[in-house]
A and B are shown apart, each in its own frame.
Chain A
Amino acid sequence: MRTIQEAAKALRARKVSSVELTKRCLNNIERLEPKLNAFITVTGEHALTQANTADKELAAGRDRGPLHGIPISLKDLFRTRGILTTGGSLLYKNMVPDYDCAVAERLNAGGAVLVGKTGMHELAYGVTSNNPHFGPVRNPWNTECIPGGSSGGSGAAVAAEMCFMSMGSDTGGSIRIPASFCGTVGLKPTFGLVSRYGALPLGSSLDHMGPLNRSVRDAALTLQLLAGHDGRDESSVSRPSESYLPPSEISLKGFRIGVPDSFFTDRVAPEVMARLRAMVQLAAGMGAQAEVIPIPDMAAINVIGRVILLSEAAALMQPHAAHRDEFGADVRALFDQGLLLPATDYINALRLRSIYRRQFLKVFDSIDALLTPTVPMGAPKIGQATVMIDGQEEDTRLAATRFVRGINVVGFPALSMPCGWDSEGMPIGLQLLGRPFGESTILKLGAALEDGTDFHLRNPPLA
């Protein structure tokens, strides 16, 4: 029983109880946590109480939906009432919020069972989840490798079956990178679709909240619960509700897929490129029309994203500038860089963003979805500062964010799903991009590709 869909069906058929599902996850956590360090806080007692309630409600005919009774986890930047929320930082090492964030509210209302708060890169400001205060999170496919970040604990926990879903946040790829490195699905919704209220912020115009799952349809089910307007979040968008769940039988006839003519195909590990081509061929074999298309200057969009993030994060953290020693060296260096950028650069970056967002939107005049690699390589080793990609050395952080950061700048939806493994046995991710609020389109394509493969069924050896 790997997916929410399967577990939900078994719960309603009384083949399993929520308490049993929860105990399985808690057992996996107990067994694997010493090797993975995926959690900052495990909420076992709380989870069993919630699971017991879910069982009673389901028995009484009160069905809160597909996540009712399903064990899940939250990245440790989602405020949870009465439960430690650290942000992976010493700044919040003792913070026990007196309220739930919007995501936790919706998951609670949907009957989900919280098994714990997952480890992360300090303050969500990095891609390794090698946290100096809580220790490195490790990749279930190879514990010498990073799980990616910043939602690294979420990626590891989902891949290792410590929970069925974990909520992450994505400011420059922080859902999609761990999804790619850990072989899970990761969904970054359109900016404004999922409320950020009560989540610790990093980049106020770049932060997105979304799930990591073991199947594309599970991501759709989770989004269904999370999407919706929230007046407490300035960026939240009010729009009619829609169904995100792809049908069980999908035809891609008439579906138009674009493959970028540049940037996303430059400096990519050959094995990653081979998997991208294979997935495009698979889609074409299902009836989709695939074409190579020109795209805007993504390198420029990434530069704009760096200016925006450095500025917004530095502004947020300025009150803590006197406590320099409480930051890890990499995070402190990023905050310092942001402090040195003038306001005019930030404003001009926002003006440039408008131009490139319009250009990026035009890409979707002729296609339904754009397919790219999520990350140009497999997961690096813990502590590895640079990576070699196709014979060229590159900074690990810049390489990992190269294909994902720009999508936060334009705010479009993005899905990462496993599409194979490299020769080191590490997962490779495929990124599916859609037009704003085009989640149902990329989820449909992702589900079709998933139906044609078995990548989502594979377990890491550790699990």
Chain B
Amino acid sequence: MKDWKLTSKAWNLPIPESDLDKIIPSLNSLELSFRPLVEYLTMEEESSLIFRMTEDGK
């Protein structure tokens, strides 16, 4: 599992350790369910970012 406290420190986030303790179970749970999904992705799969161009380019 990721070391969230190390990540927070490395990224210089202003999250106190006591607050980190409260969110780590939720982050671990998300990590466990999200990571296997990423393995399904292929190189061909594009992102669904909103980026819409009109014909006149505006």
Indicate whether A235 sits within 8 Å of B46 (C-beta atoms), given known contacts A333-B19, A340-B8: no
Nearest-Cβ distance from residue A175 to partner chain B, whole angstroms: 21
Within 8 A of B (CB), among A352-367: 352-355, 357
Number of interface residues of B (CB under 8 A): 27
Within 8 A of B (CB), among A316-371: 321-322, 324, 332-333, 336-337, 339-340, 345, 347-355, 357
CB of A303 within 8 Å of the partner chain: yes
CB-nearest residue of chain A relative to B36? A300
* Interface band, chain A: 20 to 34
B19 touches A357 (CB 8 A): no
Chain A residues with CB under 8 Å of B20's CB are: 336
Task: Indicate which residue in B8, B11, B22, B38 contacts A352 across the interface (CB closer than 8 Å).
Answer: B38
B37 touches A300 (CB 8 A): yes
Query: Contact string, A305-323, partner B, CB cutoff 8 A, digits 1/0?
Result: 0110010000000000110
Report Cα–Cα, A322/B46, bound state, in Å.
Answer: 35
B23 touches A355 (CB 8 A): no
Label chain A's interface by main secondary structure: helix
Within 8 A of A (CB), among B42-56: 45-50, 52
Chain A residues with CB under 8 Å of B52's CB are: 234-235
CB-nearest residue of chain B relative to A302? B33
B46 touches A234 (CB 8 A): no
Indicate whether A333 sits within 8 Å of B40 (C-beta atoms), given known contacts A340-B13, A351-B46: no
Task: Indicate which residue in B19, B37, B40 contacts A336 across the interface (CB closer than 8 Å).
Answer: B19
A333 touches B22 (CB 8 A): yes
Report Cα–Cα, A172/B46, bound state, in Å.
Answer: 23
A355 touches B40 (CB 8 A): yes
Task: Indicate which residue in A310, A322, A348, A354 contacts B14 across the interface (CB closer than 8 Å).
Answer: A322
Task: Indicate which residue in B13, B23, B48 contacts A354 across the interface (CB closer than 8 Å).
Answer: B48
Report Cα–Cα, A185/B30, bound state, in Å.
Answer: 32
Task: Indicate which residue in A235, A303, A321, A336 contacts B23 across the interface (CB closer than 8 Å).
Answer: A336
B47 touches A347 (CB 8 A): yes
Report Cα–Cα, A352/B11, bound state, in Å.
Answer: 26
Nearest-Cβ distance from residue A177 to partner chain B, whole angstroms: 20
Chain A residues with CB under 8 Å of B23's CB are: 333, 336-337, 340
Task: Indicate which residue in A324, A337, A349, A350 contacts B27 across the interface (CB closer than 8 Å).
Answer: A337
Indicate whether A321 sits within 8 Å of B14 (C-beta atoms), given known contacts A336-B23, A345-B34: yes
CB of B41 within 8 Å of the partner chain: yes
Within 8 A of A (CB), among B1-45: 4, 7-8, 11, 13-15, 19-20, 22-23, 26-27, 30, 33-34, 37-38, 40-41, 45
Task: Indicate which residue in A205, A340, A352, A355 contacts B4 across the interface (CB closer than 8 Å).
Answer: A340
Chain A residues with CB under 8 Å of B27's CB are: 337, 340
Chain B residues with CB under 8 Å of A304's CB are: 34, 37
Chain A residues with CB under 8 Å of B47's CB are: 347, 350-351, 354
Chain B residues with CB under 8 Å of A340's CB are: 4, 7-8, 11, 13, 15, 23, 27
A352 touches B33 (CB 8 A): no
Task: Indicate which residue in A336, A349, A351 contacts B15 across the interface (CB closer than 8 Å).
Answer: A336
A303 touches B30 (CB 8 A): yes
Report Cα–Cα, A339/B38, bound state, in Å.
Answer: 20
Q: A303-B34, A352-B45 are in contact. List 10 more A-B contacts (CB 8 A).
A: A205-B49, A300-B37, A306-B34, A333-B23, A333-B26, A336-B13, A340-B15, A351-B45, A352-B37, A355-B40
Query: Could you list 15 A-B pairs, sorted by A, with CB under 8 Å?
Result: A205-B49, A300-B33, A303-B30, A303-B33, A303-B34, A321-B13, A333-B22, A333-B26, A336-B15, A336-B19, A337-B27, A339-B8, A340-B23, A350-B48, A351-B41
B binding-site residues for A, Cβ under 8 Å: 4, 7-8, 11, 13-15, 19-20, 22-23, 26-27, 30, 33-34, 37-38, 40-41, 45-50, 52
